[in-house]
């Protein structure tokens, strides 16, 4: 079990940067920075993560004894923890996971994960839309509040998230990636999708999540492609 040590702040540039700094100074596993807002919140692929007051912004430090090549598995651990957290507050809603690590409510993005590794450490930054739906450039966004879960204490949400993160982290440590993969597949957003890669865009159908965490896409010409990094877009819901 991880002993979490939470450092709360009113504002910071990015909680990921704060945890990274602490990690480089020797901070132990379980250190968490939670900020009420961020002035320079960061998303995947160098994008901005809008961080007004009202949503949850936190980063945790883990020190897994695993090869750097397996680090990507932790983004699925975090996605499952966020999925559990969202489902706790929206028990009747359709919560799905979009590769690699977005949590969707009725097809709209409610959270984001930014994984960064350093020597002997891993920083998992998590943003969850609680009260406000930011205007994401790429995706439709949603929040807990707009789905009916209003006036929830951020500290209670963070506590729930850390319990779930502990659970899935221990599952990965003790049982390997297979149960993580199966749990992720159980609520994966599947079907037709567009995948934007740095130099190409692919249309295909979801086939699988392989044991390395790659997205396996079935292409129209009958071939299959394993994708390690990219942005997935689902067709709009009616
Ligand atoms: C994404 O692009 O989907 C990932 C967004 C990750 C945002 C979180 S908020 C807390 C932590 N601090 C950051 O600067 N980014 C992450």
Q: How confident is the model at residue 238 (pLDDT cuts 50, 70, 90)?
A: low
What residues pair up with 35 in beta bridges, in sequence order?
9, 57
State if residue 47 touches ligand 1 by the CB under 6 angstroms criterion: yes
pLDDT in tens, 146-186: 999 999 999 999 999 999 999 999 999 999 999 999 999 99
DSSP-derived secondary structure for 212-225: TSPEEEEETTS-EE
Residue 45 CB contacts under 8 Å (≥ 6 apart), including other chains: 231
State if residue 213 touches ligand 1 by the CB under 6 angstroms criterion: no
State if residue 35 touches ligand 1 by the CB under 6 angstroms criterion: no
**Ligand 1 centroid to residue 88 C-alpha, Å:** 21
Question: Span 113-135, mean pLDDT?
Answer: 94
DSSP secondary structure code for residue 133 in this structure: -
**Ligand 1 centroid to residue 210 C-alpha, Å:** 25
Which residue among 78, 112, 115, 122 has the greatest number of ligand 1 atoms within 8 angstroms of its CB, and so is best to mutate?
Answer: 112
Asked if pLDDT for residue 108 goes beyond 80, the answer is: yes
Q: Report the pLDDT value the prediction gives residue 134, as an integer from 0 to 100.
A: 87
State if residue 100 touches ligand 1 by the CB under 6 angstroms criterion: no
Q: Reading across the β-sheet that carries 5-12, which strands appear in turn?
A: 5-12, 31-38, 56-62, 121-128, 108-118, 102-105, 95-98
State if residue 37 touches ligand 1 by the CB under 6 angstroms criterion: no
Q: Report the pLDDT value the prediction gives residue 136, as an integer from 0 to 100.
A: 67
What residues pair up with 109 in beta bridges, in sequence order?
104, 141
Of all protein residues, the one whose alpha carbon is nearest to atom 16 of ligand 1 is: 125
**Ligand 1 centroid to residue 151 C-alpha, Å:** 22
Q: Report the pLDDT value the prediction gives residue 194, as an integer from 0 to 100.
A: 95
State if residue 16 touches ligand 1 by the CB under 6 angstroms criterion: yes
State if residue 131 touches ligand 1 by the CB under 6 angstroms criterion: no
Question: How many C-alpha atoms does 213 have within 13 Å on its Cβ side?
Answer: 19
Specify the higher pLDDT residue, 69 or 21: 21
pLDDT in tens, 46-98: 899 999 999 999 999 999 987 667 888 999 999 999 999 999 999 999 999 99
């Amino acid at each position: 079990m991880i002993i979490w040590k939470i450092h709360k702040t009113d504002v910071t540039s990015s909680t990921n940067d704060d945890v990274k700094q602490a990690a480089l100074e020797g901070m132990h596993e379980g250190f968490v920075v939670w900020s009420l807002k961020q002035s320079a919140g960061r998303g995947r692929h160098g994008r901005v993560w809008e961080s007004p007051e009202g949503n949850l912004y936190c980063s945790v430090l883990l020190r897994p004894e695993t090869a750097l090549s397996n680090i990507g598995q932790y983004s699925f651990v975090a996605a499952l923890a966020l999925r559990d957290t969202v489902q706790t507050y929206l028990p009747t809603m359709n919560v799905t996971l979009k590769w690699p690590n977005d949590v969707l409510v009725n097809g709209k993005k409610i959270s984001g994960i930014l994984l960064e590794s350093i020597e002997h450490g891993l920083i998992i930054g998590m943003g969850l839309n609680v009260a406000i739906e930011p205007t994401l450039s790429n995706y439709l966004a949603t929040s807990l509040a707009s789905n009916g879960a209003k006036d929830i204490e951020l500290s209670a949400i963070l506590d729930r998230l850390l319990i779930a993160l502990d659970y899935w982290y221990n599952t990965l440590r003790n049982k390997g990636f297979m149960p993580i993969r199966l749990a992720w597949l159980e609520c994966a957003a599947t079907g037709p999708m567009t995948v934007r890669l740095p130099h190409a865009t692919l249309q295909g159908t979801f086939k699988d999540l392989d044991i390395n965490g790659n997205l396996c896409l079935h292409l129209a010409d009958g071939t299959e492609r394993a994708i390690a990094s990219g942005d997935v877009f689902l067709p709009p819901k009616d």
